[in-house]
Structure 1
Amino acid sequence: MEKSPVIIALDLPSQQEAENFLDRFQGAEKPFIKIGYQLFYRVGPTWVREKKEQGYSIFLDLKLHDIPNTVQKGVSSLLELGIDFLTIHAAGGSEMIRAAREVIDQAQSNLQLLAVTQLTSTDQTMLNNELGIPGTIAESVVNYALLAEKAGAHGVICSAQEAKSIKKSTSGSFLAVTPGIRLAGTDVQDQKRVMTPALAIENGADYLVVGRPITQAADPVAVYQGILEQI
């Protein structure tokens, strides 16, 4: 089954709220869902496995970042859940990324490993003055993307603002998965580098990660379907 290009970020505080939200999609095609820290720490791996068995495509957004051996063992454990996407920090370096990819290949898994470049909450001042990384955000993101691709990641997490540069710098199959998606005329909230769905796809994004614009909507199914129509 082909995956939807719109991934709904289930940034919800409890299993019950997540279930209630997904119940809104009864009768429709099951959406591609992202499970991050907040929900995963509540529901644990059992619920994730159950959702996968129910037919959901699942992006587990845990942003692994540790020594290569520890990350490799973590990925090995997560492979048992049958998830589709998993995040790892590009800042962990090539050896860490290679160790993660190695265990995926050994298991002959279809899991796609996505390297986080720079968070969409990072702006130029933070990059240079707080993180101590010289140059522009775009340069840093492309550098991380090239490192990640060479080390075996299947794609990166990046702002849609950098997707076009990444697509030009990497192979055609290398994925650009973009959070920080906001509908035209809405509050950007804590995001710094945002873009509308249609512009993000036009800029080269393969998948859009959309959270609050859908989950906090009065009619989330209509908003979700509206985004699909836009792109």
Structure 2
Amino acid sequence: MTSIKTIKSRAPKDYLVFALDVPTVSEAAEYVHLLKNHVGMFKVGLELFVRGGRRIIDTIHDAGGGAKIFLDLKLYDIPETVYRTMNAIAAMGVDFATVHCSGQKDMLAAAQEGADGQVGVLGVTVLTSMSADDVRDAGYGPEYIENISRLVMKRAAAAAEWGFAGIVCSPLEVSAMKERFGKGFVAVTPGIRPAKGLVSRDDQSRISTPGQAIRNGADYLVVGRPIREPDDSAAAAAAICKEIEEALK
């Protein structure tokens, strides 16, 4: 398992994660072969994994290019089930896997134990699609409704307590997270939108440009539609890498 702490020099593409949010393994394979030299990691989400299972993991491994794999299943279950599932994930050779930080402490401990040091566990704090109204509807009080970052930090603290590799959070919370938990605590950020261009059916609420996310200290930027929707996806990925490169200077 690769840790941020062990990476001495990273190319701009190493920060970029392409979300394989497509319905079939064949379509995912096309994107893997198209983008394997343009991104540093591929994210496999719930829909694709349910449809394709281990095949999609093997497809990414077999494609070459050295891209990492982020299995984003957002585990949330009783501790024993989470332990066994994470143990199975660890055997697949993926680099990161996610668990909901809103679960009980025993569940978080079970996730870390099941990973057995073979996969970096990332805690999902608050989905980037959630607004203040959504937090209110979920039953949280004014202290979190008025400042979602407080809820993110509360859940990040739980992830850190149980030895997780890092968290998934919005780009807006990265700076405060790094200040509190240190640079070695990995920040994976969805909700990334290029400085130029819009996406269709945008359901993200707490968003940022690639450059701003990098300046805030993000370690990985998860991007899906801004790369997938243009006619030339490789060029779209290259343009985002250019924004990352500028921010790293």
SS at match of 1:61: strand
CA distance in 2, matches of 1:199, 1:93: 33
Q: CA deviation at 1:100?
A: 1.2
Task: Confirm or deny: 8 A CA contact 2:29 2:59 kept in the other structure.
Answer: no
CA distance in 1, matches of 2:111, 2:153: 21
Give me the CA root mean square deviation.
1.8
Q: Which of residues 156, 162, 171 in structure 1 aligns to 2:167? A: 156
Partner of 1:119: 127
SS at match of 1:92: coil
Name the count of aligned residue pairs. 226
Instruction: Report the TM-score, using the length of structure 2 for normalisation.
Output: 0.85
Partner of 2:247: none
Task: Confirm or deny: 8 A CA contact 2:38 2:238 kept in the other structure.
Answer: no
Q: CA deviation at 1:14?
A: 1.0
Structure 1: runs of 5 or more not aligned:
none
Indicate yes or no: 2:245 matched with 1:217.
no
CA distance in 2, matches of 1:58, 1:47: 10
Task: Confirm or deny: 8 A CA contact 1:89 1:117 kept in the other structure.
Answer: yes
Q: CA deviation at 1:169?
A: 1.4
Structure 2: runs of 5 or more not aligned:
245-249
Indicate yes or no: 2:74 matched with 1:63.
yes
Partner of 2:88: 77
What amino acid does structure 1 have at the position aligned with 2:55? Answer: T
- Distance change (3 Å), C-alpha of 1:30 and 1:7: closer
SS at match of 2:51: helix
CA distance in 1, matches of 2:52, 2:158: 33
What amino acid does structure 1 have at the position aligned with 2:27? Answer: E
Task: Confirm or deny: 8 A CA contact 1:52 1:83 kept in the other structure.
Answer: no
Q: CA deviation at 1:57?
A: 1.1
What amino acid does structure 1 have at the position aligned with 2:122? Answer: L
What amino acid does structure 1 have at the position aligned with 2:103? Answer: G
Indicate yes or no: 2:96 matched with 1:89.
no
CA distance in 1, matches of 2:110, 2:175: 28
Instruction: Report the TM-score, using the length of structure 1 for normalisation.
Output: 0.91
Task: Confirm or deny: 8 A CA contact 2:44 2:72 kept in the other structure.
Answer: yes
- Distance change (3 Å), C-alpha of 1:29 and 1:127: closer
Indicate yes or no: 2:149 matched with 1:143.
no
Q: CA deviation at 1:183?
A: 1.2
Partner of 2:35: 25
Q: CA deviation at 1:224?
A: 0.9
Task: Confirm or deny: 8 A CA contact 2:33 2:63 kept in the other structure.
Answer: no
Q: CA deviation at 1:223?
A: 1.3
Task: Confirm or deny: 8 A CA contact 2:25 2:55 kept in the other structure.
Answer: no
SS at match of 2:53: helix
- Distance change (3 Å), C-alpha of 1:5 and 1:103: same
Task: Confirm or deny: 8 A CA contact 2:18 2:39 kept in the other structure.
Answer: no
Identity of paired residues, percent? 38
- Distance change (3 Å), C-alpha of 1:92 and 1:12: same
CA distance in 1, matches of 2:112, 2:161: 11
Q: CA deviation at 1:104?
A: 2.1
Q: CA deviation at 1:46?
A: 2.9
Partner of 1:166: 177
CA distance in 2, matches of 1:194, 1:29: 22
Task: Confirm or deny: 8 A CA contact 2:39 2:237 kept in the other structure.
Answer: no
Q: Which of residues 173, 188, 193 in structure 2 aligns to 1:177? A: 188
Q: CA deviation at 1:31?
A: 4.1
